[in-house]
Structure 1
Amino acid sequence: MSDAARFPPGALFDLDGTLLDSAPDMLATVNRMLGSRGRAPVTLSDIRPVVSRGARAMASVAFPELDADGVAALVPEFLAVYGEELGRHSRPFDGVEAMLAALEAAGTRWGIVTNKPEGLAQRILPQLGWQDRCAVLIGGDTLAERKPHPLPLLHAAEAIGLAPAACVYVGDDARDIIAARAAGMPSIVALWGYRLETDDPVAWQGDVMVEQPARLLAPAAWPVPA
């Protein structure tokens, strides 16, 4: 079997913290919100660990005095400001473009399954030149469920014409690996992504843990799909 034949038939990715280093966009968003209130900015190191956990988690870091209801009330403002900052500061992680090109050369169909609202995810694809390359995009509001529920992964596999077991899901959060396992899909833990110091990626029980996207240029680094 050739190396190229060993790439999976399908590869599905989380977006923020896996394909895209979007933390700088998120930082600009929360600092605009803080600045409008006359408050001091936070730093990238403050916000980076929670980027994969969504708007509420980032608002909680920026406004630690707020309870859950207060944080939830900030989400519409966060999304509005983030919509203006979208793609202005973010970029693919080093090695991602080469990895995607290698998958495409091998005939692998790849797509994105993210908890980011679909409209925002769709907007960023043209900025990256991925709009005609990404075979499927499922956002957090595309379906009735979002990760860690397996439905988005199952739907994405169906959309690209593959069985879930023929795809590999790559993500940087426990929710990604939980969703993949529930979908019957092999998984890769993206250790280059966003996580708290208290997170234990080993405990997520992904099939493979990878330190950098460039490692996935080697077909043998991917778990073997069924």
Structure 2
Amino acid sequence: MTLPTFLPAPRAVLFDLDGTLADTAPDLAAAVNWLRTERGLPPTPYAVLRPTASAGARGMIGAAFGLGPGDEGYEELRLQWFDRYQDNMAVHSSLFGGIAELLAGIEQAGMAWGVVTNKPARFTDPLIPQIGLSHAGCVVSGDTTPRAKPHPDPLLEGARRLGVDPQHCWYVGDDKRDIEAGQAAGMVTVACNWGYCGAIEPSTWGADYLLDTPTDLLQTLRTVVDTARIAERAA
């Protein structure tokens, strides 16, 4: 992707969790298929469930049962799904390939990084250490602030906790609402094509970058930092 003419040097990178840093869809899908099995129904194919993973219970239950918030039976399924998932959230979940190297590169470059997710703290807090993200500079969950993404409040809270002005933060996510939240917070936005992405084509989200791998992101960060330093010296 062509780099913009100039971007301020990033001082921090904030990440969505599910579908961005970690591949959590296998455990999310297993929990909803357990609900189907308990009701004598066949499992929903993983290929159907995976794209909905970033939408959490709403996405999974919608794909597996065709129900949404407000529909009869949805709330019972949601609560049962929460309990099942909480007991089995790190069986198959792991960081995407290249994420550990990306985070190490960010730290080596002197930048901070953190997690901003819509996942409730009930799940985020125990999952973060189990998948190797305990060294995050901040963790903001879906219920940390009164309003979740796509509202910018969680991202602004993440920047505040890192002590970095939002305009010097990048936000990376695999869902359109991630990009909307990042834009509303005044951050540079990155759509990660390696994530779940959902039904809406990421190229239409209006992100500053659409990148295919964590390695691409690290290279882009380094290029922007180098370009900004050159521009500062020339000013």
TM-score, normalised via structure 1 length: 0.90
Q: For residues 168 and 74 of structure 1, do their structure 2 counterparts lie closer, same or farther at Cα, with a shift above 3 Å needed?
A: same
Q: Compare CA radii of gyration and give the structure with the larger one.
A: 2
Asked if residue 151 in structure 1 is aligned to residue 153 in structure 2, the reply is: yes
Inter-partner Cα distance in structure 1 for 2:20 and 2:69: 29
Aligned Cα root-mean-square deviation (Å)? 1.9
Q: How does 1:127-206 map to 2 (within 5 A)?
A: 127-131=130-134, 133-196=135-198, 198-206=199-207
Aligned AA (2:203): V
The separation in 2 between residues aligned to 1:175 and 1:100, in whole angstroms, is 23
Q: CA deviation at 1:109?
A: 0.7
Q: CA 1:124 to 1:222, structure 2 compared with 1: closer, same or farther past 3 Å?
A: farther
Give per-residue Cα distances to partners, 1:22-64, cap 9 Å, x unaligned: 0100111011111111111112101001111120111111112
What is the 5 A alignment of 1:1-226? 8-64=10-66, 68-69=70-71, 70-131=73-134, 133-196=135-198, 198-218=199-219, 219-220=221-222
Unaligned runs of 5+ in 1: 1-5
Q: Structure 1 pair 214/31, CA: closer, same or farther in 2 (3 Å)?
A: same
TM-fit CA distance, 1:130: 1.8
The count of aligned residue pairs is 218
Alignment-mate amino acid for residue 191 of structure 1:
N
- Preserved CA contact (<8 Å) 1:148 1:176: yes
1:80-101 CA-partner distances (Å, limit 9, x unpaired):
1000111111111111111011
Q: Helix, strand or coil: the match of 2:136?
A: coil
Q: How far apart are the structure 2 equivalents of 1:221 and 1:206?
A: 18
Opposite residue 87 of structure 2, the aligned amino acid is: E
Per-residue Cα deviation, 1:147-194 (whole angstroms, up to 9, x for no partner): 000000011101110100011000000100000000001110011111
8 Å contact kept, 1:111–1:137: yes
Measure the CA separation in 1 of the matches of 2:16 and 2:173: 5
Cα distance in 1 for partners of 2:145, 2:68 equals 30
Q: Could you tell me how far apart the structure 2 residues matched to 1:182 and 1:217 are?
A: 24
Residue 217 of structure 1 deviates from its aligned partner by 2.6
SS in 2 for 1:25: helix
- State the SS of the aligned residue for 2:19: coil
Letter in 2 for 1:100: L
Task: Tell me the equivalent position of 2:232.
Answer: none
